[in-house]
């Protein structure tokens, strides 16, 4: 296939090691502000565990032989992957692109716009890794990680973070203002937070919704993987969840970079 | 002087949809000179700058920097250009010093070298005392100086300055000017845009005046002044009788009513206005040197732009 036949939204970007220079810039900012940015991922899961695990959990029957708090604990890890990376590459990237003109400053150097966007997405994935590891530490401290397989979650959190960062970057590329992010947050992130097998098993949903959730809600796969590893329940279907992430992530990664190019290079 | 062409544009065009921002312009910028782009808002100056430093692709035409095509050798060209943009795009999360360190990284400058250059440049733009201050605590003038320092991190052969002194107080403007001159002495080629005609007249060896995406005039400042508005300008209070008298006295001269005043431009030699005033003392008469602003307004008109 000739290059010109590839739809322009799916041209493979040319990337170099310079991607990491953009990543390092974002890391440097975090190192300067870590005292405030590390607090929410630490405290939020504790609140959920207290309110939903201990509080609500007292009224809920055992699920698959597990207590309610044990059921939601790995889901909280997966949820933090989604929130941290999605918000990093929507609100965070939008501020850097639009208000701070950081992207303009960087592309005046040998770093290309493709590399800036890729660096931002890698950074979003890193935020997913950092935040979900903190949550993982919290649930471990609560004694909610029965299987040592939970140690495999950080690399998966990076992959999940890549996907949500790339999806977020697509929204950033098409959002006219920063307020526009309320739509994907309300229509995409919040439903996913509630309906991806996080707070109740997916099987409680009508069959058609179960299929839709598996096909279109990335968080479903993150929750299933996290729960399988935390509980030490290795099933072959986990490979399907992993495969889904591995196929969909490059698709959105490439799409987001091309959409951003269309937005910023007229 | 050796006149090696460093930047060359041939029928360079940039369209945004139906809008033609830059309309087939051709120019040559020589190594070591200070070259100015003048023009009202929307003339296409910044768009041209952005095409030169390879962040905006052209629609048509040729553009080469140091013999390299901007479309193919963007990275190499950006490596040799320093850019001080119009707007403040410093990193607000970092200190003055850290802004330079992070920026040096994009050019593959080693950490030790970056620190050394950052300190030297802060010294050069007189910001060493603000080294560890967060950006938001800087004045506008300090930010401009830091942006200039940042543009010099990669030791550029070409320095692009997009309105380098807009919004600055006179002290800060003079400081920036003196830095620009000293850089030019070191052999850096300067490409600048400005709205200030005194700035252009002071700094630029050659300049072009753009309007509506086209080049409407080019040359060196003194020649342009002489060619378009002569050597001296007479300003007198506006009055119909005075107007008629001036028309009779200075046949072929250009008379322009500006507010309460009449401006008289002539291609006659220096001294004709003084001689006339000795014979006919007009009210509020002032003779002054013709300047680049007169040229600019003559060529682009007094109508306000968007």
The string of pLDDT tens digits covering residues B61-82 is: 999 999 999 999 999 999 999 9
**From B53, B87, B105, residue closest to A21, measured CB to CB:** B105
pLDDT bracket for residue A2 (50, 70, 90):
very low
Q: Which of A24, A33, A101 sits opposite B105 (nearest CB)?
A: A24
Q: A28 and B94 in contact by Cβ < 8 A?
A: yes
Alpha-helix residue ranges (DSSP H) falling in chain B:
45-52, 74-80, 96-106, 111-124, 140-151, 170-185, 197-203, 221-229, 240-249, 272-279, 292-300
| Arithmetic mean of pLDDT, A199-203 | 91
Q: Do the Cβ atoms of A105 and B74 come within 8 Å?
A: no
Structural tokens at position B218: 């080019």
Q: What is the mean pLDDT of chain A?
A: 93
Check whether A4 has a pLDDT greater than 60: no
pLDDT of residue A59: 85
A103-146 residue pLDDT tens: 999 999 999 999 999 999 999 999 999 999 999 999 999 999 99
Decide if pLDDT at B94 tops 60: yes
Query: How far apart are the C-alpha atoms of A151 and B183, rounded to whole Å?
Result: 56
Domain ranges of chain B: 5-225, 231-289
Instruction: Please tell me if residue B83 touches chain A, with a CB cutoff of 8 Å.
Output: yes
pLDDT at B290 over 60: yes
Nearest residue in chain A measured CA to CA from B159: A108
- Judging contacts by C-beta atoms under 8 Å, the chain A residues touching residue B91 are 25, 29, 100, 102, 105
For residue B61, is it left (φ>0), alpha (ψ between -120 and 50) or beta? left
Which residues in A lie closer than 8 A to residue B16 (C-beta atoms)?
266
Q: Under an 8 A CB cutoff, do A102 and B103 touch?
A: no
Q: 10 Å Cβ neighbour count for A248? A: 16
Long-range pairs of A95-102 with CB within 8 A, sequence gap ≥ 24 = A95/A178, A96/A120, A97/A172, A97/A264, A98/A178, A100/B89, A100/B91, A100/B92, A101/B85, A101/B87, A101/B88, A101/B89, A102/A25, A102/B89, A102/B91
Q: Are B290 and B256 in contact (CB under 8 A)?
A: no
Nearest CA in chain A to B98: A28
Lowest-confidence range among A2-6, A15-19, B122-126?
Answer: A2-6
pLDDT at B78: 97
Tell which B residues from 135 to 164 touch A, by Cβ distance under 8 Å. 154
Among residues 12-31 of chain A, which lie with CB inside 8 Å of chain B? 18, 21, 24-25, 28-29
Q: Which of A106, A89, A132 is nearest to A20 (CA)?
A: A106
pLDDT at A33 over 60: yes
B93 interfaces chain A, CB cutoff of 8 Å: yes
CA–CA min distance B284, chain A (Å):
49
Q: What's the mean per-residue pLDDT of chain B?
A: 91
Task: Give the C-alpha separation, A57 to A142, whole Å.
Answer: 15
Residue range A40-61, pLDDT digits in tens = 888 888 899 898 888 888 888 8
Q: Quote the CA–CA distance of A9 and A155 in Å, as a whole number.
A: 28
| B45-54, B142-151, B207-216, B245-254: the lowest-pLDDT one | B245-254
Task: Check if A233 contacts B (Cβ < 8 Å).
Answer: no
pLDDT band, residue B228 (cuts 50/70/90): confident
Per-residue model confidence (pLDDT) at position A6: 66
Residues facing residue B82 across a β-bridge:
B159
Query: What six digits make up the tokens of B189?
Result: 């080629």
Q: How many angstroms separate the CA atoms of A74 and B299, rounded? A: 71
Q: How far apart are CA A220 and CA A217, in angstroms?
A: 6
Q: A122 - beta bridge partners?
A: none
**Which residues have CB under 8 Å from A182's CB, separation 6+?**
none
Of A25, A104, A112, the CB nearest to B89: A104
CATH architecture, range B5-225: 3-Layer(aba) Sandwich (3.40)
Residue among B83, B90, B102 whose CB faces A28 most closely? B102
Its pTM stands at 0.91
* Mean pLDDT of the region B52-59: 95
Tokens coding A266: 């007229």
Per the structure block, which two tokens stand in for A187? 């229509």
Distance in angstroms (rounded) separating the CA atoms of residues B93 and B149: 18
Can you give the pLDDT at residue B241? 83
Residues from chain A contacting residue B85 (CB–CB below 8 Å) = 101, 104-105, 108
Task: Tell me how close the Cα of B262 comes to any Cα of chain A, in angstroms.
Answer: 45
CB contact under 8 A, B92 and A100: yes
List strands edge to edge, sheet with B261-265. B254-258, B261-265, B232-237, B286-289
| pLDDT at B306 exceeding the cut of 80 | no
Tell whether A34 is within 8 A of chain B (Cβ): no
Query: Using CA atoms, how far apart are residues B183 and B255, in angstroms rounded to an integer?
Result: 41
User: pLDDT tens digits for A78-92?
Assistant: 999 999 999 999 999
B194 against A42, higher pLDDT: B194
Query: In this complex, do A107 and B79 lie within 8 Å of one another by their Cβ atoms?
Result: no
Q: How many residues does chain A have?
A: 266
Q: Work out the minimum CA distance from B132 to partner chain A, whole angstroms.
A: 13
Cβ separation B74–A101 shorter than 8 A: no
Specify the fold of B231-289. Answer: Alpha-Beta Plaits (3.30.70)
CB contact under 8 A, A112 and B74: yes
Cβ contact, residue pair B55, A33, below 8 Å: no
Structure tokens at A239: 């490979």
Q: Chain A: nearest CA to B189, how far in angstroms?
A: 17
Q: Which residues of A touch B53 (CB under 8 A)?
A: 108
Contact B41, B65 (CB under 8 A): no
Render pLDDT for B9-50 as a digit per residue (tens, 0 to 9). Answer: 999 999 999 999 999 999 999 999 999 999 988 899 999 999
- Is the pLDDT confidence value at B240 over 80? yes
What is the pLDDT averaged over residues A63-90? 94
**Contact A110/B85, CB-based, under 8 Å?**
no
Q: Residue A265: list chain B partners with CB under 8 A.
A: 55-57
Chain B positions touching A101 (Cβ under 8 A) are 85, 87-89
Interface test with B, best of A109, A112, A260, A263 (most B CBs within 10 A): A109
Distance CA A210, CA A192 (A): 12
| pLDDT: which is higher, B25 or B260 | B25
Q: Do A109 and B93 touch (CB under 8 A)?
A: no
Q: How many angstroms away from the CA of A159 is the closest CA of chain B?
A: 26
Contact A247, A162 (CB under 8 A): no
pLDDT at B243: 85
A70-93 as b/e: b if 16+ CB within 10 A? bbbbbbbbbbbbbbbbbbbbbebb
The whole-angstrom separation of Cα A199 and Cα A68 is 9
> B53, B75, B85, B91: best mutation site toward chain A, by most A Cβ within 10 Å?
B91
Domain B5-225 identical in fold to domain B231-289: no
Contact call for residues B125 and B179 (beta carbons, < 8 A): yes
What is the model's pLDDT at position B236? 87
DSSP assignments along B209-267, one per residue: EEETTEEEEEE-HHHHHHHHH-SEEEEEE--HHHHHHHHHHSTT-EEEEETTEEEEE-S
Facing B16 at nearest CB: one of A18, A112, A266: A266
Closest CA to A106 of A17, A170, A21, A32: A21
Residue-level pLDDT at A1? 42
- Predicted-complex ipTM score: 0.90
pLDDT at A3 > cutoff 70: no
Question: Of B56, B92, B106, which is closest to A106 when you measure between CB atoms?
Answer: B106
Question: CB contact, 8 Å: A140 with chain B?
Answer: no
């Amino acid at each position: 296939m000739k290059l010109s036949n590839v739809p322009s939204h799916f041209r493979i970007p040319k990337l170099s090691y310079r991607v990491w220079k953009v990543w390092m810039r974002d890391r440097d900012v975090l190192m300067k502000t870590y005292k405030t940015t590390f607090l929410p991922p630490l405290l939020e899961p504790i609140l959920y565990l207290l309110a939903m695990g201990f509080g609500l959990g007292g009224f809920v029957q055992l699920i698959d032989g597990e207590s309610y708090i044990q059921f939601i604990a790995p889901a909280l890890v997966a949820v933090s992957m989604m929130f941290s990376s999605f918000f990093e590459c929507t609100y965070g990237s939008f501020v850097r692109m639009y208000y701070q003109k950081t992207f303009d400053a960087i592309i005046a150097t040998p770093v290309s716009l493709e590399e800036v966007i890729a660096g931002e997405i890698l950074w979003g994935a890193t935020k997913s890794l950092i935040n979900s590891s903190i949550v993982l530490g919290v649930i471990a401290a609560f004694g909610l990680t029965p299987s040592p397989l939970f140690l495999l979650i950080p690399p998966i959190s990076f992959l999940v973070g890549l996907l949500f960062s790339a999806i977020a970057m697509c929204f950033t590329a098409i959002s006219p203002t920063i307020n526009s992010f309320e739509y994907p947050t309300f229509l995409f992130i919040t439903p996913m937070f509630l309906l991806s097998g996080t707070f109740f098993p997916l099987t409680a949903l009508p069959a058609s919704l179960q299929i839709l959730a598996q096909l279109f809600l990335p968080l479903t796969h993150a929750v299933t993987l996290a729960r399988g590893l935390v509980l030490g329940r290795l099933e072959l279907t986990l490979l399907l969840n992993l495969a889904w992430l591995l196929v969909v992530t490059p698709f959105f990664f490439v799409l987001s970079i091309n959409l951003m190019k269309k937005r910023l290079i007229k | 002087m050796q006149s090696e062409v460093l930047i060359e544009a041939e029928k360079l065009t940039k369209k945004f949809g139906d809008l033609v921002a830059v309309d087939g312009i051709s120019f040559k910028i020589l190594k070591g000179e200070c070259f100015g782009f003048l023009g009202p808002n929307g003339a296409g100056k910044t768009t041209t700058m952005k095409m030169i430093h390879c962040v905006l692709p052209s629609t048509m035409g040729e553009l080469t920097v140091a013999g390299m095509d901007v479309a193919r050798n963007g990275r190499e060209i950006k490596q040799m250009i320093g850019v001080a943009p119009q707007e403040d795009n410093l990193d607000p999360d970092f200190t003055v010093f850290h802004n330079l360190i992070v920026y040096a990284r994009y050019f593959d400058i080693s950490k030790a070298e970056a620190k050394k250059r950052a300190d030297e440049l802060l010294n050069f733009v007189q910001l060493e005392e603000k080294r560890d201050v967060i950006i938001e605590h800087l004045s506008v003038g300090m930010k401009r100086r830091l942006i200039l320092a940042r543009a010099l991190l990669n030791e550029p052969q070409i320095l692009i300055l997009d309105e380098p002194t807009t919004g600055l107080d006179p002290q800060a403007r003079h400081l920036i000017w003196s830095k620009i001159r000293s850089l030019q002495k070191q052999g850096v080629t300067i490409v600048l845009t400005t709205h200030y005609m005194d700035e252009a007249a002071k700094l630029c060896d050659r300049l072009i005046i753009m309007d509506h995406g086209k080049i409407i005039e080019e040359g060196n400042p003194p020649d342009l002044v002489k060619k378009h508005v002569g050597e001296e300008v007479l300003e007198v209070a506006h009055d119909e009788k005075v107007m008629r008298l001036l028309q009779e006295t200075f046949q072929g001269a250009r008379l322009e009513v500006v507010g309460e005043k009449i401006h008289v431009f002539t291609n006659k030699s220096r001294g004709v206005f003084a001689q006339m005033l000795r014979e006919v003392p007009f009210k509020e008469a002032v003779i002054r040197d013709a300047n680049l602003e007169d040229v600019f307004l003559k060529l682009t008109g007094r109508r306000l732009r968007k």
